[in-house]
Every structure is written in structure tokens, then in C-alpha cells.
Structure 1
Amino acid sequence: MEIVSYHPKYNQAFYDLNIEWLETFFYVEDYDGEVLSKPDKYIISKGGHIFFAIENDIVLGTVALMKESQASFELTKMAVLPNQRGNKIGQQLMQHCIDFAKKEGFDRLFLYSNTKLENAIYIYRKYGFTEISVEPNSPYDRSNIKMELILV
């Protein structure tokens, strides 16, 4: 398996993986559908990054870093093929994002999640993310926890 940077040829996999994950665990919000269907517009052109875990030309998983400010990025849109969950692909994608963020000189990463995703919250804490307050105008209705990783 290798982790590669964004290429438009993976747009459908980015969309499909995330929609499947959202439909399995929550529901697709309007904001999700818009961002997922136009990653060039909402992530890449605004200075963000998308990574893909690829093996034998199959996209096993994906994750995005959405730019909030020059040195602050949201770790978001992480999804792994259902038959690949439990193989630590998500953890490898997370480590890749952390390493990338440090190399690029980012100050922090943050994420939104939901406490019902106990395994995910455990993994975020394992990688050093700590809980902070969720702002009242959070972009996700389903989110009830916000976490950050300070990199400086």
C-alpha cells in the first residue's frame, strides 16, 4: 500500500468512500454532499490537501486536510473501504497527515467527530489530539466533539 496525493482521477473514490461511511454511521448533510462532489473547489483550490491509500490501483481509503488558515487545517473526510476497516489504514492516513503537517510547518490540526465513534476517538487521542469546545456554528450537525493537535 502507498499513500498518494490528490489527483482528479480519484474524485469518484473520494466521493463514494465518504458517502458510504456517512450513510453507515450517520447521514449525508447538504454540506457533505457539496464538498464531496467538488473536492477541487472546496478543498484543493483553497489550499487544502487530499490523500489516498492505494493498493493495486484500488483506493482503500482517503483523508483530507481542509485549510482554515495559513497554519491551521481540519483533518476531515477520512473513510476506508468497509472490507478494509480494521487494517489500520485510517491510522496510516492519520500519521501521513501529521507528518505532512509538520513538514509543511502547520501549527495545528483539528477535527470534528461524534463520541459514539468510540474507536475513532480512542485513535485520535492515541495520536495526541485533545478535546476542545465545539463552536455553536459548527459546520456539522452530527458533531458533538472537536479535537486538536498542536504541532508547534
Structure 2
Amino acid sequence: MVLAQTGYPLLDLFWTMLVFFGFVVWFWLLFVIFGDIFRRDDIGGWGKAGWTLVIIVLPILGSLVYLIVEGRRMGERRQADAAAVRKAYEHDVRRIAAANGDSGGPTAQISEAKRLLDQGAITPEEYESLKSKALGRSVGEPA
């Protein structure tokens, strides 16, 4: 085993992995905290600058203080943001579905073409062409 030959004990390896993992988690936490600070609209620029300065000057203590002071509201803001994004998405989906269902959908296009065919305004070949176009197929392609 190469590790045993280098003189690096197994517990030191575990300790190194634990420290590295802790560093990654702390670094991720800084991204979350800075993201929350700069997305907030309940504090002004000086408040944001103050929190940023505290976290930069005293990184671990500043992060812990921010989590203690703003932890609950931080979670509430994230939930509100997620709910707003979901509501906007659902609104867009309903708007697009309604627009396609009223006049632009394949069913409406085919029924309009059938009505024109029954009135004699178009030929059967033109009807088949319009139907294929509405269904997204090329003319003459089998169903």
C-alpha cells in the first residue's frame, strides 16, 4: 500500500478529508449568505455593506452571527422566491396553453380547414395539405 509507505497515517488522511469537506461547506455557505444579503430588499446599501464587511473581516464568526440573526427570515425569503418563480411559471404555462387552445392549436386549424372544405372554398388536396401542416407532417407523409 502506497499510503503506508509514505508515512501518512490513516487518521491524518481522515482528518485532512474532514477539514477539506468543512472548507467546501463553509465556502458554499458564504455563497448562500452573500446571495441572501444582496437579494434582500428590506435593508439598504449601508446595511448590505456592513454585513459584507463583517463576514469578510470575521468570516466564521460573521457567518455564524448572520445565520443566528437572519436564519429564519433567510429561509422564508428563499421559500417566497421559489413560490414566486413557480407562480410565474404556472401563469406562463396557462397563458401559452390558452393561446394554443383558442385559435392556434392543431385541432382548431384542422376544424377550420374542414369547414372550408365543406363550404367548397378549398379542394380536398388543399385540405390534406392544411391538415398535414397542422399536424407537423410533410404533405403525403403517412399518419
The interval holding the TM-score normalised by the smaller chain is: under 0.3
Structure with the greater relative contact order (CA < 8 A, sep ≥ 6): 1 or 2?
1
Greater share of helix residues, 1 or 2? Answer: 2
Structure of higher CA gyration radius: 2
Using the size of structure 2 for normalisation, the TM-score is: 0.27
Greater share of strand residues, 1 or 2? Answer: 1
Using the size of structure 1 for normalisation, the TM-score is: 0.26
